[in-house]
Chains A and B, each alone.
Chain A
């Protein structure tokens, strides 16, 4: 939180200093995530997920999310001279330190600041991509992506389609943006606008949950994907999540979900920061209710991995979707609708959505607005008992 306060100072100052409470002494469910023990993170090199397809005993470094993003950017810049990295305040390392040291290592021709204009950043990136570069553009906060909405929706997403047989596209493009709640971001440092982009054919929307995921998914987005990728980074995880990240490059597939925890009675589908709260709620539910709950990380929000989700729901017969952004027309709406369409006969309870309420992300209300462990736990309980 200290990091965020420092980070956003250039944008919204003066920022008054205040103290934030953690948990109520009486709380049994809404206890802050202990990132040092959560089973979601690889706390030892031996705990690396098999999905990374690495050789035997890979060398690892303990890194947090911003450091793993930095190492992905560094590797991409080193291996492909068509990669460039830019945005507001990127050259000195970025307000979240994701691009630290890159300008010094790779030169200001390839890592540079732009004027403060999101439509300019997106438009510039699209032109560079259409001419064969692999631009990695940064929007300082997802809350400020809207000035670039026209460029992303009408231009980046439709470039390949309208070029037809000519084959030019904005496929080299990656747009990174910090998103989601961090406790005190108020209206414009909290938003999760992913569902606005999942409604846009031609864009790939990715939300990583951890340092390992971020590095592998970002490397795929930059070096492998031929489609424009919006890479939305939960800023609350930048420093909080630390794990053993393989030093050698690896590529995680896009549009592929991952089962984080297997179960037989209920499927919980989520992505990004709420996964940690889902895991806490599931641990409690398994202890207290004796339920066996499966947890799926979508990772790519669009085009999403229907097969993994449907197979899981076929098995469990019950499911729920959890995300921070507003429930109405959110990612959960699409996932829930697809589930009832594809595996209707397997369902034994309504598909539940636990998400932000249909309101704005007001400063003092975040605890009550975004899904917490209590709401997720309660939804698990109700769905199991339905």
Chain B
């Protein structure tokens, strides 16, 4: 009689392509068809996201937006994986994946309009900052409840499989789904991986294991070998990758995408290891539960941006001058979008009611009239000047 002792198992290894000095460890890397201009774009996108984080973190501190969450330390996972997907692949994300949006083509204006919840925000000013979405880029709008998007990804992947089969599509699509290691403790993670496996859904699950879920370290999150070890239990092909190594993340995602379309479709799990060098959000002071020195150490020792920069410098693709120019251009571009978005009017008040159902219900129509009546009789109590079309948007056909 032999019990299986998880602690005696060797930990699942972490795949790396380059070390923290940007030196290539995996000789097969060079055989890939990676264009230098693409790699430069990845780098620019990571830097742009990190600059946006600094600007918007400060903007929140100044009270100009109500909330923000940075991606610091995880830019490599987002940009590297997104770069390995096709534009038609569908994405579900958690909230710390600004790099995915950036790599797919989300503009500075798109980010800022959402963050300031103005009338250009596709979410019509309904969602908290950082809850981005894009139809054009095939990224579903982010929602706050953790892990709920994971079974959505399985269902959406099943839909893609069915639709692509019915249409006889040549280029089949997959779904990529992002979440943190804390979210993986939710029941929806379990439900999703299990149903994705039993229904053979072409979906790549990408877990960002950054060591913390707000204040909770992984030791209090799980006792197994991370998230990767669970994939095997569901019968899912699984890999662990160094999340600070953008080449490794890219290569692993590309291969996962290929696997996901094999045998009529199947799920694949990637656990990308990183470290959340930032606070959880602007509502969190992480030094209440971890030492500042530990964070500083991580920042100094390893970081996806500096790691790629070191590689580019070794290749002669980058230097201090280019770095200065990139940072200056990115900052200017973001600040221009920042100012335009901050100055734009808020969404029309009718959007408080619209889109709950496809059409307004009779009950809602009478409530719109009720609200308009109150505003008209107590004009000094409400500021309509900031809202698009003012009181006019509340004038609807009864």
Contact = CB atoms under 8 A, between A and B. Distances in A.
B131 interface: yes
A127 B363 contact: no
A161 B357 CA distance: 8
Contacts of A124: 151-152, 154-155, 158, 191-192, 195, 199
Interface string A185-224: 0000000000000000110100000000000000000000
B357 A202 contact: yes
Interface residues of A, number: 51
A127 B188 CA distance: 13
Interface stretch (A41-49, A131-139, A175-183, A362-370): A131-139
Nearest to B92: A127
Given A123-B154, A255-B361, A160 B194 contact: no
Interface stretch (A147-155, A236-244, A286-294): A147-155
Interface residues of B, number: 50
Nearest to A225: B358
B282 interface: no
A123 B151 contact: yes
B160 A131 contact: yes
Interface string B136-165: 000011010100111111111111101101
A306 B357 contact: no
B356 interface: yes
Contacts, number: 164
Interface in B147-195: 148-160, 162-163, 165-166, 187-188, 190-192, 194-195
Interface string A106-146: 00011010110101111111111111110100000000000
Interface in B68-96: 90, 92
Contacts of B126: 161-162, 164
Contact of A154 (B131, B143, B154, B351): B143
Contacts of B188: 119-120, 123, 150-151
Interface stretch (B26-34, B117-125, B298-306): B117-125
User: Which one of B152, B165, B187 has the highest number of Cβ atoms from chain A below 10 Å of its Cβ?
Assistant: B152
A162 B158 contact: no
A158 B121 CA distance: 17
B198 interface: yes
Given A120-B195, A151-B148, A306-B363, A135 B155 contact: yes
B398 interface: no
Contacts of B160: 131
Contacts of B190: 117, 120
Contact of B152 (A81, A123, A133, A306): A123
A162 B199 contact: no
Contacts of B202: none
Interface string B204-218: 000000000000000
Contacts of A117: 187, 190-191, 194-195
Interface stretch (A54-62, A92-100, A165-173): A165-173
A151 B186 CA distance: 12
12 contacts: A109-B162, A115-B198, A117-B191, A123-B155, A123-B191, A126-B151, A132-B163, A150-B148, A155-B152, A162-B133, A164-B121, A303-B363
Given A117-B190, A119-B151, A133-B159, 15 more contacts: A81-B166, A123-B150, A124-B158, A131-B90, A131-B155, A131-B159, A133-B163, A151-B148, A164-B123, A164-B133, A168-B140, A202-B356, A303-B361, A303-B363, A306-B363
Interface of B: 90, 92, 121-124, 126-127, 131, 133-135, 140-141, 143, 145, 148-160, 162-163, 165-166, 187-188, 190-192, 194-195, 198-199, 351, 355-358, 361-363
